[in-house]
Amino acid sequence: MQGIIQQNYQGIEALQIKSIEEGPLTPLSVMIRNKFVPVLPYDWQTESGALTEIRPVQLPIVIGYGFGGIVEQVGRLRHSSLIGQRVIGMQPNGSAQEVINNKIPPLLFKAPDQVTLADAITLIGGADAALHAIKVLQIQSTDTVLVTGASGGVGTYLIQLLKLAGATVIALASAENQAFVRQLGADSVLNYEADLATQFSNNSQPNKVIDTVGQQALLQLISTSYGSLRILSLSTTDFLPTKPGQDFRFSNGSIGIGGYQHLLQLLATQQIKDDIQATYSFEDVKKGQMIAKNEHSQGRILLTF
């Protein structure tokens, strides 16, 4: 079978499509014909060596984390009712390959009948990160939350989940994505391509910040523009706030089985919706990653197998 391989730390352009072994069917195996893999910052940051401290790997590796596909075979310790089911899941040792040999039952979830497989896979590395941030910050209806990268794969879900929690949302987005982000429910939308310092001073004061971008200069401007703040970043591990009464933390933990089941139910009942910017064949992984990394986002980019 074919897979996308990272051989070194020379970035996106060094990725290769190679033949790899499928691996044997074990008692704990669920063999899945892969259909979709989300393109995540996690991928290109690993490829450039930016995550070596928090994600040490032994190269070469198959890239990718989330997947969505159809179950074809199961080992004797996995339930036969899974065969033929549409599932999403996580594969910590790499998901960007044609067949997934999933051996960890808690990392596999059936997609509800009302939800397409493409829609469901956007939860991985998107809504799950958003829900984790909301839980870590203990978001309440009295909170006003500033969201950076509001039009991206995490930000789009953050806005919706924050509004479900009753919070007031201030969203940062590019000029071309202002209307898109407002449609998701943001109470106010600021243009990060214009004079942000003036926009901050003319807008309401947030008490919490959820950062999905990881740009030090942006965090510095936010810190100096406001008073008391709790800043949570999903993208950078280090930042020193400039004022008393401000604290910073990085977090990327799990939401657990119940968290994923909750998100799938929210999708199934249309309380939240996904936004898929584009899909590319896995052979076009370099194009997909470059667009996701360098261009203005409107949701998530997927690779198809």
- pLDDT tens digit sequence for 1-25: 999 999 999 999 999 999 999 899 9
Strands (E) in 188-245, as ranges, are 188-191, 208-211, 229-233
Cα 196 from chain centre: 25
Phi, psi (5° rounding) for residue 219? -60, -40
Model pTM greater than 0.75? yes
How far apart CA 129 and CA 158 sit, in angstroms, is 8
Predicted pLDDT at 254: 93
Q: What is the pLDDT of residue 58?
A: 92
Residue 53: the pLDDT is 80
Structural contact between residues 172 and 149, judged by C-beta atoms closer than 8 angstroms: yes
* Backbone dihedral angles phi then psi of residue 212, each to the nearest 5 degrees: -110, 0
Query: What is the structure's pLDDT at 54?
Result: 79
**Please, what is the average pLDDT of the chain?**
96
Name the packing angle between helices 41-48 and 285-294 (round to 10°): 100
Q: How sure is the predictor about 55, in pLDDT bands with cuts at 50, 70 and 90?
A: confident
> SS3 of 2, please?
strand
pLDDT for residue 57 is more than 90: no
The band of 56, judged by pLDDT with boundaries at 50, 70 and 90, is confident
- Please, which residues bridge with residue 2 across strands? 19
Task: Name the pairing type of β-strands 16-19 and 2-6.
Answer: antiparallel
Sheet holding 168-173, edge to edge: 188-191, 168-173, 144-147, 208-211, 229-233, 246-250
Q: Which residues pair with 300 in a beta bridge?
A: 276
| pLDDT value, residue 270 | 97
144-155 pLDDT tens trace: 999 999 999 999
Eight-state DSSP code of residue 125: I
Calpha distance 200→170 (Å, rounded): 10
When pLDDT is averaged across residues 39-67 and rounded to a whole number, the result is 92
Cα–Cα distance between 124 and 154 in angstroms, integer?
10
Q: Is 57 exposed, middle or buried (0-12, 13-18, 19+ CB in 10 A)?
A: middle
Residue 271's DSSP bridge partners are none
pLDDT tier for residue 212 given thresholds of 50, 70 and 90: very high
- Report the distance separating Cα 84 and Cα 104, nearest Å: 18
Residue 251, pLDDT > 90, answer yes
Residues of the chain above pLDDT 90, percent: 95
User: How many Å apart are CA 20 and CA 41, to the nearest integer?
Assistant: 24
Q: How far apart are CA 11 and CA 145, in angstroms?
A: 33
Rounded CA gap, 223 and 243, in Å?
A: 7
pLDDT computed for residue 298 by the predictor: 95
Work out the average pLDDT over 256-278: 97
Is 65 a residue whose pLDDT tops 90?
yes
- Band (pLDDT 50/70/90 cuts) for residue 135 is very high
Structural tokens at position 16: 């290769």
Pairing of strands 208-211, 229-233: parallel
Q: For residue 191, what pLDDT band results from cuts at 50, 70 and 90? A: very high
Q: What is the pLDDT of residue 52?
A: 86
pLDDT at 195: 96
